[in-house]
Amino acid sequence: MFDRGPIPRYVQLADIMRHRIKRGVWPRGETLPSIERLMEEFQVARVTVRQAIQLLAGEGLLSPQRGRGTFVTAEPGAERRLLVQTTLDDLVEMYRGDTPDLSNIIESRRQPILTERDGIPAPSYFHMRRVHSRDGEHYCVVSIFIDDRVFALAPERFRREVVIPLFASLPGIEIAKAYQTLNIAAADVEVAEDLGVPVNTPVAEIRRVFCAPDGTVIYLGEATYRGDYIHLEMDLKP
């Protein structure tokens, strides 16, 4: 059941237990099976189960109580979901109401790697790498490349606000083409450090491109989200 790689077994067990809570298999207020039953089900040592419970207690999902057992303290996890929108207008509206804590960890003149499909490169770009978090928990790290001419219109706002709704609100800026791609991947060492998760934790990589009417790429965002924050809905029309 457990990977023999570098991720500790108790972390893998905690991930299984976390998903059971999120799916409602173990509802809020319910007592977890005993440590002995969990040891038997997952074929692990007592210390592994205790470490997994302690990890989830630190996340506010479980509450161990001496002599009474371990109680589930969280609802199934819709509150952490970030909906992956499939139209630009919906994406703008989603982020317009989003108020994460933003921490800019890098600012540079690094230039993006663009493909022919993306569009025409701008003469130069302003680059920011930032982390989004809520309640002290990092859930997204993103590299943002903004056409220098656009960035110069509101540099301080770009540094402190969520970029996508700001783009949509700037006068004189027209987004003629926009698209995004989503890949499921595993956190490398740098991403794991930025998000505070183990290496190889599942993540979602989203790449977004906005182009001006002349085909110039005025925005490129390369975001990596914790896998447990992503929720994708698609309207499958018959």
What is the distance in angstroms between the CA of the first residue and the CA of the last residue of the chain?
39
CA 40 distance to own-chain centroid: 33
pLDDT digits (tens, 9 = 90+) for 8-22: 888 889 888 987 887
Which element (helix H / strand E) includes 166? helix 163-169
What pLDDT does 78 receive? 46
What phi, psi does 107 have (nearest 5°)?
-130, 135
Which residues are 222's β-sheet partners? Answer: 143, 207
Q: Give the global pTM.
A: 0.69
Q: Could you tell me the residue ranges of all domains in the chain? A: 9-78, 81-231
Amino acid at position 142, single letter: V
pLDDT tens digits for range 82-98: 666 667 777 777 777 66
Q: Do domains 9-78 and 81-231 have the same CATH topology?
A: no
Give the per-residue pLDDT at 59: 81
**Predicted pLDDT of residue 84:** 66
**Per-position DSSP letters for 183-226, written without gaps between them:** EEEE--HHHHHHHT--TT-EEEEEEEEEE-TTSBEEEEEEEEEE
CATH class of 81-231: alpha beta
CATH classification code of 9-78: 1.10.10.10
**What distance in Å separates the CA atoms of residue 3 and residue 11, rounded to the nearest whole number?**
11
The more confidently predicted of residues 114 and 197 is 114
